[in-house]
Amino acid sequence: MKTNDLSPDTLLAQGGHFVDRETGAVVPPIHSATTYARNSRYEVADYIYSRNANPTGAHVEHVLAKLEGAEEALAFSSGMAAVATFFDTVGTGEHVVAPRVMYHGAADLLRRLADRRGVEVSFFDASEPGALEAAVRPGRTSVVWIETCVNPTWDVIDVRAAAETARNAGAVLAVDATATPPVTLRALELGADVVFHSATKYLAGHSDLLAGVLATRSADERWHEVKAARTRMGGMLGAFEAWLLLRGMRTLHLRYERQAANALAIARHFEGRAGIEAVLYPGLESHAGHEIAKRQTAGSFGAMLSLLVEGGAEAAKRVATRTRLFVPATSLGGVESLIEHRASVEGPLSTVPANLLRLSVGIERADELIADLEQALA
Ligand SMILES: Cc1ncc(COP(=O)(O)O)c(C=O)c1O
């Protein structure tokens, strides 16, 4: 069986079907070298300098490309290094469209591109039907950047429809799929041109490394520019982190399944509970994006949800300080459950409701997580 035919689960479990030819090792080595010797004719072999590429990074990129059904993938030293490198290829006068509610660090980067580099940026309301179509300018928009689910309201953007809108406008569709990794969302198959992950989150899965990933449907001109920009700007993932990322990814499918099941149990338990104004989770039938999520993420609704707590910001913060299992910390996607008052983290430009608590659900037992939230709310 060729690795092309393997399911994501098997590909992940086997770490890319790796067996070292020389030693029989079933885990790839960490190539820590920064520089590589030329041959006797003074020619460069596969590698020259590890800021350009290195064998450990190349292995994880190979697995990521297979996982996404991509022609190529690139690993970066953080999610934001990947986002910044991607947008380095967007020049003055180009028009970019992005959701109004999205990861605040990427939104901040887009606002700086608009202020400092003369890139035109339009933000659209992802919860409003037709807003993306209205925001693109056919023949003028070069990049449509979307995020699904949208952090931290978990609105669901229809990737197939967004891809068609982008294509009709002559733009590239890039999807931040951090919250919906490739075991659930097949962004490139749905028509996206580029998919991005903060691999710090579900792909790595243990809250112990920073990494970012871009994968492309076709290694076109913009992709080659992204590659050159990674070398120029120095955003390459280090060899040890690449190795750790691969190790984390080997259990992605199992972790994500358990995390999503836990999140669904929590969402169902707290929907309609006294003291909770709303539960934002695409797995609930009451959620506006439920039908799209069902179609687009193969029946999995993810492991991120938000609670709107009655009593405003102070009441929400009080809950976040009273949990005993949910750790009051930012970030997401690790095996341990986290809780955060999102508006405090995003700062003054935040558009997030003041009473929103974001939960990143881990792999603990659902009944114990529910009991923890119950005692914090009591
Ligand atoms: C949706 C999303 N995109 C991008 C990023 C940035 O990734 P990193 O923190 O790995 O730089 C994050 C980080 O929280 C995120 O949640």
Q: Supply the CATH classification number for the domain 252-377.
A: 3.90.1150.10
Rounded to whole angstroms, how far apart are CA atoms 359 and 263?
A: 9
Phi, psi of 19, rounded to the nearest 5 degrees:
-140, 125
Residue 134, classed as helix, strand or coil, is helix
Identify which of 117, 116, 110 has the alpha carbon closest to the alpha carbon of residue 92. Answer: 117
Q: What single string gives the DSSP state of each residue in 196-228? A: EEETTTTTT-SS----EEEEESS--HHHHHHHH
Cis omega before residue 138 (within 30°)? no
Buried b / exposed e along 186-200 (16+ C-beta atoms within 10 A): bbbebbbbbbbbbbb
Q: Choose one of 110, 148, 178 to mutate for the ligand 1 pocket test, by most ligand atoms within 8 angstroms of C-beta.
A: 178
Ligand 1 site, residue 150, Cβ cutoff 6 A? no
Ligand 1 site, residue 105, Cβ cutoff 6 A? yes
Rounded to whole angstroms, how far apart are CA atoms 218 and 89?
A: 16
Distance from residue 67's CA to the centre of ligand 1 (Å): 20
Q: What is the CA radius of gyration of the chain?
A: 21
Q: Choose one of 76, 103, 207, 245 to mutate for the ligand 1 pocket test, by most ligand atoms within 8 angstroms of C-beta.
A: 103
Burial class (CB in 10 A: 0-12, 13-18, 19+), 35: exposed
Q: Residue 48: what pLDDT? A: 97
Ligand 1 site, residue 213, Cβ cutoff 6 A? no
Distance from residue 347's CA to the centre of ligand 1 (Å): 16
CA-201 nearest atom, ligand 1: 10
Q: Residue 167: what pLDDT? A: 98
Tokens 């190349």, located at residue: 58
Residue closest via CA to ligand 1's atom 9 equals 79
Low-confidence ranges of the chain (pLDDT < 70): 1-4
Number of residues written out for the chain: 378
Residues catalogued as catalytic: 51, 103, 176, 201
Q: Where are the domains of the chain?
A: 3-249, 252-377
CA atoms within 13 A on the CB side of 118: 3
Taking the mean position of all CA atoms in its chain, how far away is CA 147? 8
Ligand 1 site, residue 176, Cβ cutoff 6 A? yes
Instruction: Give the CA diameter of the chain.
Output: 75
Residue closest via CA to ligand 1's atom 8 equals 79
Distance from residue 79's CA to the centre of ligand 1 (Å): 5
Distance from residue 25's CA to the centre of ligand 1 (Å): 33
Residue 280, both tokens:
């934002």
Residue 230, classed as helix, strand or coil, is helix
Predicted confidence (pLDDT) per residue in 243-273, tens digit: 999 999 999 999 999 999 999 999 999 999 9
Distance from residue 297's CA to the centre of ligand 1 (Å): 20
Those residues with Cβ within 8 angstroms of residue 152's Cβ, 6 or more apart along the chain or in another chain: 101, 280, 304, 306, 342, 352, 356, 358
CB-CB contact of 106 with 176 (8 Å): yes
Return the beta strands (E) in the chain as ranges: 72-76, 95-99, 120-124, 141-147, 172-176, 194-198, 212-216, 276-280, 304-309, 327-328, 338-341, 356-360
Distance from residue 265's CA to the centre of ligand 1 (Å): 25
Ligand 1 site, residue 198, Cβ cutoff 6 A? yes
Rounded to two decimals, the pTM is 0.97
CATH class of the domain comprising 3-249 = alpha beta
Q: Choose one of 200, 208, 338 to mutate for the ligand 1 pocket test, by most ligand atoms within 8 angstroms of C-beta.
A: 200
Residue closest via CA to ligand 1's atom 10 equals 79
Residue 302, both tokens:
């993810």
Cis omega before residue 149 (within 30°)? yes
Residue type, 376: A
Q: Residue 181: what pLDDT? A: 97
Identify which of 336, 302, 84 has the alpha carbon closest to the alpha carbon of residue 196. Answer: 84
Q: Choose one of 101, 147, 150, 201 to mutate for the ligand 1 pocket test, by most ligand atoms within 8 angstroms of C-beta.
A: 201
Ligand 1 site, residue 54, Cβ cutoff 6 A? no
Distance from residue 80's CA to the centre of ligand 1 (Å): 6
CA end-to-end span of the chain: 55
Annotate 248-265 with three-state secondary structure: HHCCHHHHHHHHHHHHHH
Rounded to whole angstroms, how far apart are CA atoms 122 and 278?
A: 29
Residue closest via CA to ligand 1's atom 7 equals 79
Tokens 């035919």, located at residue: 5
Rounded to whole angstroms, how far apart are CA atoms 121 and 143?
A: 10
CB-CB contact of 170 with 138 (8 Å): yes
Distance from residue 329's CA to the centre of ligand 1 (Å): 14
Q: Residue 3: what pLDDT? A: 57
